[in-house]
Amino acid sequence: MSMSHLYGTDGDDGVEMESFEVTDWDLQNEFNPHRQRHRQSKEEATYGVWAERDSDEERPSFGGKRSRDYSAPVSFVSAGLRKSAAEELSDEDSDEEEKPVKQEEIPKEFVPKKLKTGGNFKPSQKGFVGGTKSFVDFGSWERHTKGIGQKLLQKMGYVPGRGLGKNAQGIINPIEAKQRKGKGAVGAYGSERTSQSLQDFPVQPPQLFFLQEYQKELSQWRKDPNGGKKKPKYSYKTVEELKAKGRIHKQLAAPQKELSQVKVIDMTGREQKVYYSYSQISHKHNIPDDSPQQPLGKDSKPQGFALPELEHNLQLLIDITEQEIIQNDRQLQYERDMVVNLSHEIQKMSEVLSHEEKAISNLSKVLDMVEECERRMQPSCENPLTLDECAKIFETLQDKYYEEYRMSDRVDLAVAIVYPLMKDYFKNWDPLKDCTYGTEIIAKWKSLLENDQLLSHSGQDVSTDAFHRLMWEIWMPYVRNIVTRWQPRNCGSMVDFLDSWVNVVPVWILDNILDQLIFPKLQKEVESWNPLTDTVPIHSWIHPWLPLMQARLEPLYSPIRNKLANALQKWHPSDSSAKLILQPWKDVFTPGSWEAFMVKNIVPKLGMCLNELIINPHQQHMDAFYWVVDWEGMISVSSLVGLLEKHFFPKWLQVLCSWLSNSPNYEEITKWYLGWKSMFSDQVLAHPSIKDKFNEALDIMNRAVSSSVGGYMQPGARENIAYLTHTERRKDFQYEAMQERREAENMAQRGIGAAASSVPMNFKDLIQTKAEEHNIVFMPVIGKRHEGKQLYTFGRIVIYIDRGVVFVQGEKTWVPTSLQSLIDMAK
């Protein structure tokens, strides 16, 4: 390395001088505290970056510059002799045991000496910042700071001892480097992979095999380090080794993609050769070259025995023999595998044969039983087959020969044997007289003939199930015949008949009876019913069908309400028969339809009756009041309270005021007040509007007692009225407290039951529970969706639910809202 960057020369005199100017080299090495001082020359000071510099490869020269001769031939410097294997192994051990040495422990002979120059320059004894340095004190600078780097890493989730990254996928140990033993090329001393790389990227067995073969081929071209003549090595292969090699090559016959696409350039021979897989190198043979032999030199010795053609032929015979041995081994292994496979096939076929023999035996027995049934079905048979005996035969088939019974065509078997017996069994049957006849025998045949699969209402399924076909073709004609002659007003026998057969008859047959036979008869009878002339009330022959038909009777309710409304046009509340006719329908009609019917047809009549009521404290007639109060259980409390507020309390308070203005007897007024109050039920008195009216009456009496200053005042009247007011208010408070206590107990019991039985599983169930608590209709809109979400009606509001959020339909868009706001909007 040239030393011109350290010292400069002064022109022709050659006087060495040291410059203290700040140069670009100083700026570049300002963070290197141990840098070597560069002495600027006069030419550098004059021309700056355009000044000529000495070559780095020249040695320092103090007597002047020496130009290099580029026309001279290239000379090489010897790198020394290669060490032996033992010496290299000892060097490797010494390298591994080597530890970083402190500066104080370095021997003196390795310390750089002072340059013999005229200056006072002392080279630094420490290495350059980029040189080798011990990592023992790595990060020790953090002890002089606040440790912000470590704190930031820990705050972002870093755990000491683990890798960086979200999943700690970063490496913990630094990348290892492995020193090469000598100065050879890459791979000349074996694998240079470290233990860390072998652990992270293990070598696949096929690749390792080919690498070993390639290494073996490569070692043949190396020179002996001792310089002696390499002795030939002979390898002998046994038959077992050849077989094992053949198995390995068989497994690797289809090499992996990454191995089959590797391009290998072989430069170990005289010519460069290109292979496209490691397997081609492993299969390479020593074939004699076709190139002409080189003339013998003066020092070369002629070969005593050289027969390349013979060697080639011998090698070819050896390869053919190896292939034959490998092929024979593969054929032998194939035959052995075939023997094992055939033994398994024989075992399986024997099992199948035994199973088939058992199946043939069972089928022959089943066939004998069926033929016996057909023989006994003949008219000329002395011992005819009965229905009970036929059922026992089918039970035997189902218990002992279940598989054959399931695989057989039971429909044809039942049509041929069971149907004639079933027709003979029901030929004299009258369903209305003996409704339970045949239920036990039909239930037994249901378990024998019905399929396990769920059948639909289509006719195709009917034809594939023996029991359903039996009921449709044998039992159903008797039912149709009896329904055509049946009178709907005599419903008891028909209802009992269907109740006894509801668990035996298939569901779709029962639905057909109710929809196609019973309902048209009831509908026709309702149309001909007249509530004014018929003596038999309609509920007596409609309500018994409720357990069986339920919602099927809904179309009959509308004409019934219309006929009842027409009959109530000229009705007066004094006629109590209307209540007897309407009371059974209260729980049948829906609450909304019942309330609408009452408000339209009953409430106006009661209001007219209250208008006709005359309140006279001296001679009171209570008939009209009793007619109205008698409907308390039929009409809602709110409707009754509305009638009283509009038609009763204004007249009642007016009479009280006129009575108090004429020097009354307050004891009579108190009895009159308490008497009217006792006419109302506790449910009506608990209503806030009724409470306000009676409290208003007490306030009127208190004002009347307080304002009588100059006139005559009955002794004790003021105290009596005050005591009455206090007593009534206390009763109201006690009643309210008792109601609150009952509601709390009911809520606690309802909460315990709800927690034990049904807890809302999702947001939809919670909305449904809240709707039931607030008496709001919550139901899906059929066939309506928004962005794939089902639409619901919550009262009069249209909503849909998406991921636990309720969206309410606005004017232009859907608006999210809370559950409480939704309830308030619905109310």
Spatial distance between the Cα atoms of 406 and 411, rounded to a whole number of angstroms? 11
Q: Which two tokens stand for residue 768?
A: 């449904």
Mean pLDDT is lowest, of 77-86, 327-336, 635-644, for: 77-86
What is the distance, to the nearest Å, from the Cα of residue 564 to the centroid of all Cα atoms in its chain? 56
Spatial distance between the Cα atoms of 807 and 815, rounded to a whole number of angstroms? 5
Q: What are phi and psi of 396, to 5 degrees?
A: -65, -45
Q: Which two tokens stand for residue 132?
A: 């080798």
pLDDT category at 282 given cuts 50, 70, 90 is low
Pair 632, 684: CB distance under 8 Å:
yes
Q: What are phi and psi of 802, to 5 degrees?
A: -140, 110
Residue whose pair of structure tokens reads 């002794």 in the numeric block: 715
Secondary structure letter of residue 788 according to DSSP: T
Write down the domain spans for the chain.
Answer: 313-382, 575-706, 763-826
Spatial distance between the Cα atoms of 586 and 565, rounded to a whole number of angstroms? 15
Pair 456, 510: CB distance under 8 Å:
no
Spatial distance between the Cα atoms of 11 and 46, rounded to a whole number of angstroms? 12
Handedness of CA 253, 257, 259, 263 (dihedral sign): positive
Q: Which two tokens stand for residue 250?
A: 């068989």
Mean pLDDT is lowest, of 20-29, 458-467, 576-585, for: 458-467
Spatial distance between the Cα atoms of 511 and 321, rounded to a whole number of angstroms? 87
Of the candidates 778, 813, 782, 783, the one whose C-alpha atom is nearest the C-alpha of residue 797 is: 778
- State the pTM of this model: 0.47
Task: Tell me the DSSP string of 422-470.
Answer: HHHHSTT--TTT-TTTTHHHHHHHHHHH--SSPP-SSHHHHHH-HHHHH
Instruction: Count other Cβ atoms within 10 Å, centred on residue 68.
Output: 10
Handedness of CA 18, 22, 27, 30 (dihedral sign): positive
Tell me what the mean pLDDT of segment 152-166 comes to: 81
Spatial distance between the Cα atoms of 540 and 549, rounded to a whole number of angstroms? 15
Q: Which two tokens stand for residue 664?
A: 């009354």
pLDDT in tens, 767-798: 888 888 888 888 888 878 888 788 898 888 88
Q: Determine the number of helices (DSSP H) and then strands (DSSP E) in the chain.
A: 35, 9
Tell me what the mean pLDDT of segment 11-29 comes to: 64
Pair 625, 679: CB distance under 8 Å:
yes
More confident residue, 473 or 149: 473
What is the distance, to the nearest Å, from the Cα of residue 736 to the centroid of all Cα atoms in its chain? 51
Task: Please name the amino acid found at residue 599.
Answer: V
pLDDT in tens, 605-656: 999 988 888 888 888 888 888 999 899 888 988 889 999 999 899 998 888 8
Spatial distance between the Cα atoms of 717 and 705, rounded to a whole number of angstroms? 7
pLDDT at residue 36 is higher than 60: yes
How much of the chain is helix, strand and coil, in % rounded to 5? 55, 5, 40
Spatial distance between the Cα atoms of 680 and 674, rounded to a whole number of angstroms? 11
Spatial distance between the Cα atoms of 625 and 614, rounded to a whole number of angstroms? 10
Tell me what the mean pLDDT of segment 547-573 comes to: 90
Q: Which residues pair with 791 in a beta bridge?
A: 800
pLDDT at residue 88 is higher than 80: no
pLDDT in tens, 298-316: 455 555 567 888 888 888 8
More confident residue, 138 or 408: 408
Share above pLDDT 90 across residues of the chain, in percent, rounded to a whole number: 7
The predicted pLDDT at position 165 comes to 81
Query: What average pLDDT does the chain have?
Result: 75
